[in-house]
Structure 1
Amino acid sequence: MPDSRIKNEEQYRALLEIGYSKEKSARIANTPDAGVKGGHAKPYNEWTKAELYQQARRVGIPGRSYMSKKNLIHSLRNN
């Protein structure tokens, strides 16, 4: 039975199959437009700290309010 808290169940299952943890899979699958391809976003180093903070908030990165811009970029790329 699908989990109602997961927005993109298909992507969530695919991430689990390739070895991602349940937490990381859920975080990615619940990101708005997570499965949409297109490459229209600018690189993180061109984002403002406020934009990075909002993205970290969307994906559920803990401790984001204490992070520098550099740490936010690192966390978004590696979580």
Structure 2
Amino acid sequence: MPRRDPGPSIKDDDTYEALRRDGASKEKAARIANAKAAGGKPSKKGGKAAPYDSWSRDDLYKRAREIGIDGRSKMSKGELVHALRTH
């Protein structure tokens, strides 16, 4: 199968394609591939929020609702944390 060009916004095509083959969404694969291409350094924008483990279940639920995670009303705090981290 010929390799597709994911476009100019993807900085590391090989990493992107490997992640897509492993089942990652296009958005997640692009984010990881571009971070790797940038040397794996975190952006200057992030890092201001407290870790999900320190959030209350209600706050985690509100964030899951904002993102649109299905099944959130039946999830425990640990399940919400996992769902938010893997979204």
- Fold shared, TM-score > 0.5 on shorter chain: yes
- Aligned residues between the structures: 55
* Residue aligned with 1:45, SS: helix
Structure 2: gaps spanning 5 or more residues? 1-8, 28-43
Instruction: Verify: 1:77 aligned to 2:85, yes or no.
Output: yes
Distance 1:38 1:74 in 2: 19
Query: How much is the aligned-residue C-alpha RMSD, in angstroms?
Result: 2.4
Q: Which residue is equivalent to 2:36?
A: none
Instruction: Verify: 1:58 aligned to 2:66, yes or no.
Output: yes
Instruction: Verify: 1:21 aligned to 2:25, yes or no.
Output: yes
Structure 1: gaps spanning 5 or more residues? 1-12, 26-35
Q: If the length of structure 1 is used for normalisation, what is the TM-score?
A: 0.57
Output one character per residue of 1:43-62: Cα deviation in whole Å (capped at 9) or x when no partner.
00000000000000011100
Percent of aligned pairs with the same residue?
A: 47
Larger-gyration structure (1/2): 2
Q: If the length of structure 2 is used for normalisation, what is the TM-score?
A: 0.52
Larger relative CO (CA 8 A, sep 6+): 1 or 2?
Answer: 1
Deviation at 1:38, TM superposition (A): 3.1
